[in-house]
Amino acid sequence: MSIAFDPAVITLAKFLIEAILVYFLLMHGIYFLLIILGAWEQRKYHQGIHFGEFKRISESSLTLPISIVISAYNEEKMIIETVLNSLLLRYPRFEVIVVNDGSEDATLRLLIERFKMFPTKHVFSKKLQTKLVHGVYLSEKYPNLLVVDKENGRRADANNAGVEHARYPIICQIDADCVLEEDALLRMIHPFLDDQYVVAATGMIRPSNGLIVHDGKIISRGLPKNWLPMFQYVEYLRAFQWARAGLSKLNSMLCMSGAYTLVRKDIFLKVGGANLNAVVDDFELTVSIHRYIQNHKELGPLRIAYIPDPGCYSEVPETWKALNSQRNFWQRAILQSLIWNRDMMFNPRYRMVGMFGVPFFFIFEALSALVEGLTMLLAPFAYFVGLASLTDIALFFIFGVVLGVVVSVSAVLLQEFSRFRQDKTSSLIRLLMTGFFEQFGYHQFHTYSRIMGIYDLLIKGKIAYGYRVRTGYLSPLDNIKIKD
């Protein structure tokens, strides 16, 4: 079908088609380059790391002590294993602070019963505004375990309360659904000891779905059993393992995941702590630290380090409803922070963060869902009314889908050169198939969730998370049932 259009409409349509094609080419091209750069950085990291260094760190009395802060809201399914896992970490001196953020389930009761907690008075310096703290509990079994029970104020408020009660100069923030490798802290503290100008560090995160965890110990590191978490597994490889390593090399990594971050306590307090008005605090905290670094150049070449090693595992949604809520939430968080910090965009005062980091996240993270959504509507319409040729549609498919498959498959293949490569050929094949099929259905659903996130933030002003459900870690008994 061909319809006669005004020349101006035809010109506009062709301009949009060409602009979208260029956009996709740039987006996937930059991501591919970031993945290559990230893989190169990981190779350099592993070549420069020796087991003896971690042994010295683990045995030295001069190693910086760490306060692990775990914010928890309705985490009865996972909190015990998460806390046990933290207590078993191989590190010379650390404390674990669990902040019960007004949970309405059995989170607090389970903590008190399992770890023999008793009420105590805890002296601390009040530096941040937080919701009312009802009580502080100390463990009879583990002297380095503290539980802070407070009114619900969302994660930022809980993290601030935890930092205030922390005794040590380095804060490690993890979520209540996270489990760490035994040597995670040793690897994360290394850049702080190696470079006095490191003020924060974040690391690689992988889905915990498929892990076998018993009494806080990781027994097995299998892949997720279902397709939905498998799609997210490949996403995490692409985004956390490679792209963020590349962005970090360019001093443009704007999101230290709240699931796994180390930050100097003094810096955390100087930037005002976690922002209580943010949709989620981790992205905004990262940008705030970057802003602080560039506004205080007299303090030296301060920087945020990235550890290209999978030391943390976090549960990903197992249902479409939960995934929709999570990705809506993430989109709102990114867009909100970029709007708040728009003065940094293309601002040479902020160096690479301003000239590349903020523009990259705004153009290719905050806006990509709108561009992809427009493409899904524009391409078939333009073809059927004669504004686009079959060649144009083929290019849309190649640039919008095929290049996405190439980037995902590349991320999977590069993993095989890391120390956490797949042991079984069948697992590698599953990942490669996931990287291919991710672009057909899953990616479009993801795009829809992000578009709704933009709507919910800009039109409805929505801040709260939304729907969430926990599955919990697999136990050795679960693994036997799966095999049977």
- Is pLDDT above 60 for 478? no
Cα distance between residue 205 and residue 207, in whole Å: 7
Residue 132 maps to a domain = yes
* Per-residue model confidence (pLDDT) at position 168: 96
CATH of the domain at 136: 3.90.550.10
Residue 312 maps to a domain = yes
The DSSP code sequence of 302-362 is -EEEEEEEEEEEE---SSHHHHHHHHHHHHHHHHHHHHHTGGGTT-GGGHHIIIIIHHHHI
Q: Does residue 325 contact residue 453 with C-beta atoms inside 8 Å? A: no
- Is pLDDT above 70 for 420? no
The residue type at 338: L
Residue 256 maps to a domain = yes
pTM: 0.89
Query: pLDDT digits over 227-262, tens only?
Result: 999 999 998 888 766 778 888 889 899 988 888 999
* Per-residue model confidence (pLDDT) at position 483: 47
Q: Which domain holds residue 164?
A: 52-316
Counted residue by residue, the chain has a size of 484
Residue 375 maps to a domain = no
Residue 219 maps to a domain = yes
**Encoded tokens for 206:** 């992988």
Comparing 264-273, 341-350, 457-466, the range with the smallest average pLDDT is 457-466
Quick one: average pLDDT of 399-413? 81
Residue 230 maps to a domain = yes
Q: How many domains is the chain partitioned into structurally? A: 1
Residue 280 maps to a domain = yes
* Per-residue model confidence (pLDDT) at position 71: 95
Residue 231 maps to a domain = yes
Q: What is the mean pLDDT of the chain?
A: 88
Q: What phi and psi, each to the nearest 5 degrees, are found at residue 384?
A: -70, -25
Check residues 49 and 139 and name the one with the higher pLDDT.
Answer: 139
CA neighbours within 13 Å on the CB side: how many for 29? 7
* Per-residue model confidence (pLDDT) at position 2: 56
